[in-house]
Structure 1
Amino acid sequence: MPLARLTPEGARTEAMTKHPMRHTPAQGSGKRPVAPEVLEATVERIGREVLHLETLKTRRADSLDFHELAVWRVRDALEEAFRAGMRAATDSRGK
């Protein structure tokens, strides 16, 4: 069942896509979008190195697609994702 987003006024909007947080910056914002292959490689690396997951690809088997993770591992992964974003922002400013 797709999730629905709420506008600030509380009205339902279009159903969220598979990856609702992925977007490209508004035109004229001065921000450079991250290349999809760089994003994918970073997310896969964090999944492997921090969460100790073999892959993030859907394999259509509960035993392969669902994992128990300690909250500290999830926190570590979120912190690493934040650091990767900060590095990317710093790198793009220097170009």
Structure 2
Amino acid sequence: MKSTTDSAADEAVDDIYTLIKIARVQSMLACGSRASVYEKLRKDPTFPRPVRVGPHSIAWRLQEVRDYIANLPRHELSGLSGPDQRRAAARGAA
């Protein structure tokens, strides 16, 4: 019987070799269209490059897309995050 650690390691190895099509890339990036994915491909040098899987077909490596998403800069609303916003609001209301 495999332990959960073995399962996690197997899944991580699988991610290295898992290829995904553009619809999944769109979904992971919350892009509205295929054109948005291709625009990122053209304009963002850090965006993962697809691999050719057939004469008329490309796919992306799942782990590369996940890494790209993980490295996107975080956007802070008004410069403060959750607890800091509440503390600042409480000081202002006092």
| TM-score (normalised: structure 2) | 0.27
Give the number of the structure with larger relative contact order, counting CA–CA contacts within 8 Å between residues 6 or more apart.
2
| TM-score (normalised: structure 1) | 0.26
